[in-house]
A and B are shown apart, each in its own frame.
Chain A
Amino acid sequence: SQTIHQWPATLVQPVGSPLSLECTVEGTSNPNLYWYRQAAGRGLQLLFYSVGIGQISSEVPQNLSASRPQDRQFILSSKKLLLSDSGFYLCAWSRATEVSGYTFGSGTRLTVV
C-alpha cells in the first residue's frame, strides 16, 4: 500500500531563517506531488506541484521554492522566512495515470517568530 510521510510535524523558526520541509511517498512510482498551505481559519492554497523529477510548477509567487530531487521526494524550502509564512503545510500525492484524488500527509505546523 502507499504511504506518505511528512516531517517535521511542528516547527518554530525565527524570521529570516531558512526552511526545509520534506515529504516522501512510498509504494508507488511517478506520483504527482503537491505542496499546499493552510493559513489559520482559511482554506487550502496550492503552492507547488510536480509531475516528475525536476519538474516544478509554482502557483503562487512568494519566497518559497520547491524541489523534487527524487521520484518520490518533494522538498519545500525558503532562504529567509517571513512572518507571513506561518501556517499549516500539507504535502499530497496523486496518481499520474488516473484521477484518483489526493492522499495527504499529516502536515507541518510552521510558526515564524
Chain B
Amino acid sequence: AQSVTQPDIHITVSEGASLELRCNYSYGATPYLFWYVQSPGQGLQLLLKYFSGDTLVQGIKGFEAEFKRSQSSFNLRKPSVHWSDAAEYFCAVGAANYGQNFVFGPGTRLSVLP
C-alpha cells in the first residue's frame, strides 16, 4: 500500500532564507508525486507534480522539487521564502491506475519570521 511521511510537523524560517520540506513515500512502482499548499481556511492548491522524466520539477510560486528514487523522497525547495509562503504543505502520492486515490502526507506547517 502507498504511504507518505512528512517528518517535520512544523518548520519556522526567516523571510529570505531557503526552505526544504521533506517528503518520503512508500510505493512499489514509480509513483506519481505531488505537492499542495493550503492557506488557512482555504482549499489545497497544486504546487507541482512529478510523473516521469526530469527528476527536478518546477512549480508555481518559485517552488521546485526533486524526485530521488534511491531515497524514496520528493523534497520541496524554495531558494528564498516570502512571508506569503506561510501555509500548510502536503505531499501526496498517487498510483497509475485511473480512479485510484492519492495518499496525502500529514502536512508540514510553515511559519515565516519577518
**A-to-B contact residues, CB < 8 Å:** 6, 32, 34, 42-44, 46, 49, 51, 59, 88, 90, 92, 96-107, 109
Contact = CB atoms under 8 A, between A and B. Distances in A.
Given A43-B104, A43-B107, A51 B44 contact: no
A42 B51 CA distance: 27
Given A32-B99, A43-B107, A44-B90, A102 B46 contact: yes
Contact of A99 (B96, B104, B105, B106): B96
A106 B38 CA distance: 10
Given A43-B107, A44-B104, A96 B41 contact: no
Nearest to A107: B43
Interface of B: 32, 34, 36, 41-46, 49, 51, 90, 92, 94-96, 98-99, 101-102, 104-107
B98 A98 contact: yes
Given A98-B98, A99-B96, A90 B43 contact: yes
Given A42-B106, A43-B106, A103-B46, A34 B41 contact: no
B51 to A, nearest CB: 7
Nearest to B4: A43
A101 B104 contact: no
Contacts of B106: 42-43
A6 B44 CA distance: 13
A99 B107 contact: no
8 contacts: A43-B105, A90-B43, A101-B46, A101-B49, A101-B94, A102-B36, A102-B102, A104-B36
Rank and list the top 7 A-B pairs by shortest CB-CB distance, nearest first.
Answer: A104-B43, A43-B106, A104-B44, A44-B104, A51-B99, A106-B43, A99-B32
Contacts of B32: 99, 101
B42 A99 contact: no
